[in-house]
A and B are shown apart, each in its own frame.
Chain A
Amino acid sequence: MITVDKLRKEFKKTVKEPGLKGSVKSLFKPKSKKVIAVRDISFEVPKGEILGFIGPNGAGKSTVIKMLTGILTPTSGSCTINGKNPTQNRKNYVKEIGVVFGQRTQLWWDLPLRETYGVLKEIYEVPDDSYKKRMAFLNEVLELDDFISSPVRTLSLGQRMRADIAASLLHSPKVLFLDEPTIGLDVVVKDNIRKAIEHINHHEKTTVILTTHDLADIEQLSKRIVMIDKGSKVFDGTISDLKSKYGQIREMYFETGSKNAVEVLGYAKHFNLGDDDLSVETEGNAVKVRFNSSAVPVSDMLSYTLGKINISDISVKDADIEEIIRKLYEQGVE
């Protein structure tokens, strides 16, 4: 159980004027400005849930994760994980959690992977027999066998990420924080990692907080999303909530022989649509129209299009989650 209550983090940032003159100036009289990275965010995560924590770059996702893992001290507000405050008694708290920062590694760069797990075993006081069982299990889920004897610095990114996730799970944590665990990985590895996370969540009731830019991660793993932007929470709910709330966007796709179909059609003028509700892309004969179905019913759109020009192939589909989120990121949420 995770409770986050009005969590806030401010940083002081030194501001440097451009150029050499600015550098000299800031050397003697540094100016700083207050940056609010996280603005009074509150949410709760029940035990055993996988929470998708998303937001555009620089939204403050990592800062929140760092506060939840006890690395950063909040400016105000609080977070409680299984009744514990992360910044008080850090050593005691981190025994219960597993953390993966996709852009960093917790493995010893120069040691063979196997040795790293040996070190972690001692750190977390995992008894011999459960360590053996655990390693066998992780081996099976994450397929570490091929590279477990190689030094970490020689591993590929995908191997390293699997090894990192295994390292965060060695002590069977109650809560797992994954900060971009699929960053830079190929489709197959991504899929394996998602399956492993799902497996562990299912079998051990591990609570997972997952940040990612790959929305397929979210769609496959989590039912619930918390979205933040510029440090504030902008959405909290299930994926279907998100779709029904913001998902009036439909995508119509057709092919036509007419040369200047788009001009002939003139959707914007005909339906009186603004830029928010309509976008049209053409590529050769193919045209993709994205429109807001609450402004123009799908049937109207179809009959108008079919009546106006010759069409060889047409389809309409729901915008996928990616589309919705792209729109939210671009416009912000009111």
Chain B
Amino acid sequence: MKRKLKIYLPFVNAGMQEVATYRVNWIFFMLGEALSCFVTYFIWAAVYSSGSKESMNGFTMPQMIVYIVLMFLTGTIIASDGAFVVGEEIRDGSIIMRMIKPVSYNATFLFQELGNKLPTEIAIAVPMIITVEIIRTVMSGMFEFNVLRLVLYILSCALAYLINFYFNICFGFIAFVIKYLWGANMMKNVIVGFLSGMVIPLSFLPEAIEKVFLFLPFSSLNYTPVMIYMGKYGGTELLYCVGLQIFWVLFFFGLSKLLWKASVKRLSAQGG
């Protein structure tokens, strides 16, 4: 294990240096994210002000704001470029340069991406969490910060990231078949956004649909960590949700190994 870490830690380091190289790109990316966060806020503000009820499907307006901000925070934390990167490497054939090294293909990606993400995450998570707490305290008049929930939230985010990473890797391997992934990737992002509660909280959906969505791997992405932080899950429900997350991590991890084995045989290494 220690040896493995020693092999893959340089990839984390490499990832961090990559981000440092493209700082401006990163700043613009974060600005874009913040902007779409505001857009969602205004939509929901309009919905709440036109309705007569104070609470909708168990969400009050302040809770909705907290939900939106947390959704975006969580989305950024667990985001994974895997599908795109794998797809590109398959398309231009540079995947072969990873194959001539005695390392696991998936693991090099994972650690490189972690290196890419760690600085980002620390840089945005701390101010965002503080913002959330300020909003919550101001709007509801109560200070609800809970360390245990924060710890569980971080744990749940880590699991969600792993699900997302391995899911995206699996998705990226489709490029072995369809060669160019851009279109499929766009479609996937929209669908996953909806299924994971990014657009509307899953509890707003009809109960039967909500149940199905809650079991699907996508609710384990953003929705579970956010609900945990908001304190909507307690006791057995919380255990069940985290258990489900662990299940999906293992599922997609196994699937990615299988797909890698199967698709490597199809590799035609385009160009050169």
Q: Is the CB of B267 within 8 A of A94?
A: no
Q: Is the CB of B99 within 8 A of A118?
A: no
Contacts A70-B99, A90-B99; A111 near B17 (Cβ below 8 A) = yes
- B18 close to chain A: CB less than 8 A: yes
- A23 close to chain B: CB less than 8 A: no
Within the complex, the shortest CB–CB distance from A89 to chain B, in Å, comes to 10
Q: Is the CB of A106 within 8 A of B101?
A: yes
0/1 interface trace, chain A 79-117, chain B, CB 8 Å (1 if under): 000000000001110110101010111101011000100
Q: Is the CB of B100 within 8 A of A69?
A: yes
Task: Give the contacting residue for A71; candidates B6, B21, B96, B103; CB below 8 A.
Answer: B96
- A119 close to chain B: CB less than 8 A: yes
Residues of B within 8 A of A66 (CB): 96, 269
- A292 close to chain B: CB less than 8 A: no
Residues of A within 8 A of B101 (CB): 94, 106, 120, 123
Q: Chain B contact residues (Cβ within 8 angstroms of A): what range?
A: 20 to 34
Residues of A within 8 A of B104 (CB): 91
Q: Is the CB of A124 within 8 A of B102?
A: yes
Residues of B within 8 A of A70 (CB): 99-100
Q: Chain A contact residues (Cβ within 8 angstroms of B): what range?
A: 20 to 34
Segment from B8-16, B38-46, B141-149 that makes contact with A: B8-16
Contacts A101-B272, A111-B14; A106 near B100 (Cβ below 8 A) = yes
Residues of B within 8 A of A111 (CB): 14, 17-18
Within the complex, the shortest CB–CB distance from A68 to chain B, in Å, comes to 11
Residue of A nearest to B3 (CB): A125
- A186 close to chain B: CB less than 8 A: no
Contacts A104-B94, A110-B17, A115-B14; A71 near B9 (Cβ below 8 A) = no
Within the complex, the shortest CB–CB distance from B88 to chain A, in Å, comes to 13
Within the complex, the shortest CB–CB distance from A47 to chain B, in Å, comes to 21
- B264 close to chain A: CB less than 8 A: yes
0/1 interface trace, chain A 2-15, chain B, CB 8 Å (1 if under): 00000000010000
0/1 interface trace, chain B 242-272, chain A, CB 8 Å (1 if under): 0000000000000000000000110111001
Task: Give the contacting residue for B9; candidates A62, A73, A122; CB below 8 A.
Answer: A122
Task: Give the contacting residue for A94; candidates B9, B93, B102, B269; CB below 8 A.
Answer: B102
Interface residues of B, Cβ cutoff 8 Å to A: 3, 6-7, 9-11, 13-14, 17-18, 21-22, 93-94, 96-97, 99-104, 264-265, 267-269, 272
Interface residues of A, Cβ cutoff 8 Å to B: 11, 62, 66, 69-73, 90-92, 94-95, 97, 99, 101, 103-106, 108, 110-111, 115, 118-120, 122-125, 151
